[in-house]
Chains A and B, each alone.
Chain A
């Protein structure tokens, strides 16, 4: 079970990242749990300074951009 977290205060880009991440996880056939984190303090606590960002199992993978579904597959694998 992979825990995927999307960090972002709710701007348009964060929504797109959520969709991309979901599509990538499904395409990989992962067992996953997708969570949106929009609380600013929690975002800061994770060490994130630019939204949207994505973490897998608590480890931040990137911030401030929205990779393509293809690129996300590589990151989630």
Chain B
């Protein structure tokens, strides 16, 4: 599928720049050109497709689907729909109230709240483009598991009394937005959304691929062999803690992880860092403080943090 891109990269590196095929510089430049185009093209196509799909799935419909499921299925659906829904910190409260006040259990609401920022199409495409299918799939699967597990535990603890700032027993109607969007508008929404994201993300793609190209061309093989190395035991908790105040779109974290992996940081540690950055954010913490007591916030962060660290240790252990 990316053959024309490879031909273009070859032409540019060996033809226009006149670099030798067997040289380090030639290999690095060729890799850089090919991967940059490949990842940007994939991002554009997938963000566009997901955005079109999303016009059929407004938050009210997501809520409606979850409302109709049984408890356990509700968790699975909440995690799955969380992947497809973009998360904006400024929408966190309406989203939270909108779930709780239509009668969705607190646990399921938290499952959604964890999955939505942590797993999304942009992070997955970048991970896939820079590290391959296996790591992207591992990331998605562990994020999904953490979201469901955290929600199930919080649901079991019966923490409704720790909500505040609003009346959790008040019920609001779930009126579905029967929005009949014409196709032209779906397409223009998707185009605007895609351009918006690409505008923010492209420098990070260049950095990520640049680091990758440098490793590809110049870093000796034995350093790459340490890629899945074990590291120190405290690496995972440290990565998780550092990840909390780092507030960045997942897209900007992926290149950073690329740089870390080049330095021999273990896979589980990298995943833990990325999950902490996306799933545990300080601004989200402050905003959610308006609708829940500090204790509930700490329980929430504690459970998700523990899940992230567990995942980190697990991968460091399994991949050793």
Q: Contact residues of A with B, CB < 8 Å?
A: 7-11, 13, 40-41, 43-45, 47-51, 60-65, 67-68, 71
Contact = CB atoms under 8 A, between A and B. Distances in A.
B97 A41 contact: yes
Contacts of B59: 49-50, 63-64
Interface in B40-88: 58-60, 63, 86, 88
Contact of A40 (B58, B60, B97): B97
Contact of B95 (A49, A60, A65, A68): A49
B243 to A, nearest CB: 23
Given A7-B94, A40-B97, 15 more contacts: A8-B90, A9-B90, A9-B94, A43-B93, A44-B98, A45-B172, A47-B172, A47-B174, A50-B59, A51-B94, A60-B175, A62-B179, A64-B59, A64-B86, A64-B88
B173 interface: yes
Contacts, number: 76
Contacts of A10: 90
A43 to B, nearest CB: 5
A61 B99 CA distance: 19
Contacts of A63: 58-60, 177
A19 B98 CA distance: 26
Interface of B: 58-60, 63, 86, 88, 90-91, 93-95, 97-99, 101, 166, 172-175, 177, 179, 185, 188-189, 290-291
A36 B142 CA distance: 40
10 contacts: A7-B94, A9-B94, A40-B93, A44-B93, A48-B98, A49-B60, A49-B91, A50-B59, A61-B179, A63-B59
B185 A9 contact: no
A45 B94 CA distance: 9
Contacts of A64: 58-59, 86, 88, 91
Contacts of B189: 65, 67
